[in-house]
């Protein structure tokens, strides 16, 4: 193929298509107009115009988490770029592969405080895996291919490409058939597993009496769910998961303990606290999982940590055996010689805890309970849907009561806890998984942060089923004020929120509402049977709390169990 005279913008779009980009989420502005102009004559390039830049990056994030591919978004300079910052930080905390493209003012006026100028590279440096400021249009193909490689290898994360306006319009000779060889000096994408360390871990399992596995989001991101399942089949070690690890190990498995941590199950938290061998697989020992680190796993003679990022080994919890490498590779090697540990009475102890303190709530025939809604959705979807959540009580109830069967089925802001994430991330997940049911579970607070994206659901008939758990209050804040701050409630009343059904209808999306069990069953069935997007508002009890609850600064086994205590 002969070289063509192309602009930097045309080369950019070609490079994105060459990387297999299926859809870009974005919002135009003055300093990306050449990029958007290049889209006009490119029928292969699919772009979705969100109604806010934050909606764009959360949608790209949901696409990436649910598919395992790199999500891509575009915004203009200045406020367009800075509106992406929360989404970049969200992806960075949760190791999500994104390529974030921003425009910037022309190079001739950079540094002069030009209109809509912001040094987005410096602003986002702590929350990106790598950043590029493009100064020569000839570098665009190389930079795009490097960005995708960096974003989606090793510990995954967001990469920023900032393109000044004049660079995007610069004309250059470009050979569309040329190959881009990636040679990044000093970048080791994925370290090879240390077989000796894995052997030490297997020896520790052979000596253990009370082993427990903590499976984190790394199991999902490395597509190692099958390898973990085989490892557990061979070793018979019980498994607890982090929030982002849900689905990486089937919730219904006989050795599943559920989620651990602040709102983890009684059996999971007690198993960790009583274990003599703790094996973290793709979990970074986040403070919401460990709670008080000084009192974490006090009986563990050995703590092992498998992670692709060597910086995580021993960072939060002292580690005795560190296995650095891609989790899939580590487990494939381990599975060649894994053996069952000596079960003894450990399994019986765990089963007794599960029986004595299961997840439960006090149901009601007069008011709708949020836990009931999650259980109903789980049952009706058979645990097979992609569930996105916002942040708050509903997020924890979804983690507790939805029975995730498959990896990449929960899309949730774990590390940063970003309200407004849930709904737009569902749009991205649905674009990436057109044949699967995608359910977006939101609180009435978070739903109002990105509700404007209802417009694109209506226009493009994106068939997300949007659930609003409406308790008329900032529920998680209210719960902590009630329990920790002596019930001194401060600015948590969401009175004045819109009628969500009418809001949906105003955008052209079907809206339904339920406040009783019978209505809930009926409207959910109607929602699922409706082609296209539907918003379902469930009006639930205002004062319901999430239990178990471990107060910050206390140990995992110091759980408040609510009415079941």
Question: Strand, coil or helix: what is 75?
Answer: strand
Neighbours of 379 (CB within 10 A): 12
For the record, the structure tokens of 227 come out as 């390898």
Question: Strand, coil or helix: what is 403?
Answer: coil
Which one of 93, 270, 449, 476 is the catalytic residue? 476
In whole angstroms, what is the distance from residue 271 CA to residue 300 CA?
Answer: 11
500 is catalytic: no
Which one of 19, 53, 312, 537 is the catalytic residue? 53
53 is catalytic: yes
In whole angstroms, what is the distance from residue 95 CA to residue 152 CA?
Answer: 9
In whole angstroms, what is the distance from residue 528 CA to residue 524 CA?
Answer: 6
Contact 63, 26 (CB under 8 A): no
Which one of 25, 129, 148, 165 is the catalytic residue? 165
476 is catalytic: yes
Contact 78, 123 (CB under 8 A): no
Encode burial over 94-110: b for 16+ CB neighbours within 10 A, e otherwise.
bbbbbbbbbbbbebeeb
Burial of residue 41 (number of CB atoms within 10 Å: 0-12, 13-18, 19+): exposed
The closest alpha carbon to 548, from 258, 285, 216, belongs to 258
Which one of 44, 115, 339, 342 is the catalytic residue? 115
The distance in angstroms from the start CA to the end CA of the chain is 72
| CA 556 to chain CA centroid, nearest Å | 24
For the record, the structure tokens of 39 come out as 């889209």
Q: Taking CA 388 as the corner, what is the angle to CA 504 and CA 100, rounded to the nearest 5 degrees?
A: 95
In whole angstroms, what is the distance from residue 225 CA to residue 8 CA?
Answer: 41
The closest alpha carbon to 87, from 387, 388, 424, 392, belongs to 424
For 308-448, where are the E strands, in sequence order?
321-324, 386-389, 410-411, 438-443
DSSP state of 62: H
The closest alpha carbon to 404, from 389, 387, 390, 420, belongs to 387
Neighbours of 318 (CB within 10 A): 11
Alpha-carbon distance values, 419 to 69, 140, 413 (Å)? 24, 34, 8
Backbone angles phi, psi at 538, to 5 degrees: -105, 115
In whole angstroms, what is the distance from residue 284 CA to residue 337 CA?
Answer: 26
Q: Strands 4-7 and 171-174, how do they pair?
A: antiparallel
By annotation, the residues acting in catalysis are: 53, 115-116, 165, 476
């Amino acid at each position: 193929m002969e070289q063509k005279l192309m602009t930097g913008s045309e080369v950019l779009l070609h490079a994105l298509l060459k990387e297999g980009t299926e859809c870009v989420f974005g919002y135009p502005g003055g300093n990306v107009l050449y990029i958007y102009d290049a889209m006009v004559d490119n029928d292969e390039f699919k772009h979705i115009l969100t109604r806010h830049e934050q909606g764009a990056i959360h949608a790209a994030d949901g696409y990436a988490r649910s598919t395992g591919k790199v999500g891509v978004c575009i915004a203009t300079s200045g406020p367009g770029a800075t509106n992406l910052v929360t989404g970049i930080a969200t992806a960075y905390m949760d190791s999500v592969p994104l390529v974030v493209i921003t425009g910037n003012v022309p190079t001739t006026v950079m540094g002069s405080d030009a209109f809509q100028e912001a040094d987005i590279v410096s602003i986002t440096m702590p929350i990106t895996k790598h950043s590029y400021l493009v100064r020569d249009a000839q570098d665009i193909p190389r930079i795009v291919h490097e960005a995708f490689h960096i974003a989606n290898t090793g510990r995954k994360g967001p990469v920023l490409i900032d393109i000044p306006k004049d660079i995007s319009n610069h004309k250059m000779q470009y050979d569309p058939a040329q190959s881009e060889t990636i040679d990044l000096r000093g970048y080791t994408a994925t370290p090879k597993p240390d077989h000796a360390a894995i052997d030490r871990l297997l020896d520790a399992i052979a000596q253990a009496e009370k082993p427990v596995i903590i499976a984190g989001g790394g199991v999902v991101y490395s597509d190692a769910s099958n390898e973990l399942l085989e490892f557990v089949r061979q070793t018979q070690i019980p498994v607890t998961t982090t929030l982002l690890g849900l689905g990486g190990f089937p919730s219904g498995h006989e050795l599943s303990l559920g989620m651990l941590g602040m709102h983890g199950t009684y059996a999971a938290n007690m198993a960790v606290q009583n274990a003599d061998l703790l094996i973290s697989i793709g979990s970074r020992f986040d403070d919401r999982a460990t709670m008080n680190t000084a009192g974490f796993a006090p009986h563990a003679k050995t703590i092992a940590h498998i992670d692709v990022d060597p910086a995580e080994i021993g960072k939060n919890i002292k580690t005795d055996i560190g296995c650095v490498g891609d989790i899939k590779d580590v487990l494939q090697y381990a599975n060649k010689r894994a053996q069952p540990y000596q079960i003894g009475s450990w399994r019986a102890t765990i089963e007794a805890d599960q029986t004595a303190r299961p997840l439960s709530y006090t149901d009601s025939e007069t008011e709708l309970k949020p836990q009931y809604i999650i259980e109903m959705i789980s049952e009706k979807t058979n645990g097979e849907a992609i569930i996105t959540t916002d942040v708050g009580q509903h997020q924890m109830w979804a983690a507790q009561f939805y029975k995730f069967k498959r990896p990449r089925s929960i899309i949730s802001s774990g590390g940063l806890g970003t309200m407004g994430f849930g709904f737009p991330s569902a749009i991205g997940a649905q674009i990436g998984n057109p044949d699967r049911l995608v359910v977006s579970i939101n609180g009435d607070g978070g739903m109002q942060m990105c509700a404007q994206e209802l417009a694109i659901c209506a226009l493009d008939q994106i068939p997300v089923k949007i659930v609003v758990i409406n308790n008329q209050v900032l529920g998680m804040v209210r719960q902590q004020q009630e329990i920790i701050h002596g019930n001194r409630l401060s600015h948590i009343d969401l009175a004045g929120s819109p009628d969500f059904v009418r809001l949906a209808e105003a955008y052209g999306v079907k809206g339904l509402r339920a406040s009783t069990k019978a209505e809930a069953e009926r409207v959910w069935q109607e929602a699922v049977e409706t082609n296209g997007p539907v918003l379902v508002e469930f009006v639930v009890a205002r004062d319901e709390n999430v239990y178990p609850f471990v107060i910050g600064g206390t140990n995992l086994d110091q759980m408040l169990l609510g009415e079941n205590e």
